[in-house]
Amino acid sequence: MDDAALLLALDTCEYLFLTDIGEPEANCLRLVIEEGQVTGEPRPVDLGNGRSIEGVRAIETTSHSQRFELVWNAYISYTVHNESYQSWDDSEAWSGNLFRRYSRSKFLDYLDRATFADTRYPGPFTHYQVICQDHVIDIAALQPPKARLLGPS
């Protein structure tokens, strides 16, 4: 599969988990993302104070989960958020589901104020976002990532 097909496969997963992040070289970002799957039998979850939620099932990586490697050979900036604190609003515009490409975002607004990166230097760039169960990763880069399927977990 080519990069575009793999990114589409990643985007169509129902759940994702970030399992590895690093810089194999200076200013090169590598993410390993695993597909999450609903597992187990439905069960109640106790919320305390006599309250509970019925029919809850776990979301986990399994031996059948796809593993994706995404590598940006160069980036302008990236950030990782605890997904519990991520917010979106109507001023942002994107395409995609769990692998997004933004045309307007608070991250792009931040980069405009915090860096001198623009369409002249280093050139037109894109805000990519990967939404995982515990993390949200924002990346600004000139090119989309190189994608590779590492296989099932």
Q: pLDDT averaged over the chain?
A: 95
- Tell me the CA distances in angstroms from 63 to 12, 34, 146, one per residue in order: 19, 11, 24
Summarize pLDDT for 5-19 with one digit per residue, the tens. 999 999 999 999 999
The tokens for 117 are 């990166």
Mean pLDDT (whole number) for 138-143? 98
Cis status of the peptide bond prior to 152, with omega within 30 of 0: no
Q: What confidence tens digit (pLDDT) does each residue in 99-135 have?
A: 999 999 999 999 999 999 999 999 999 999 999 999 9
Q: Per-domain residue ranges for the chain?
A: 3-43+53-152
Contacts of 106 (CB under 8 A, 6+ apart): 89, 91, 92
Residue 21 above 70 pLDDT? yes
Supply the pLDDT for residue 70. 98
DSSP state of 42: E
DSSP 83: G
Amino acid of residue 103:
S
Is residue 1 over pLDDT 70? yes
**Is the Cβ–Cβ distance between 104 and 52 less than 8 Å?**
no
Instruction: Answer yes or no: is pLDDT of 153 > 70.
Output: no
Dihedral (CA of 23, 153, 70, 138) sign: negative
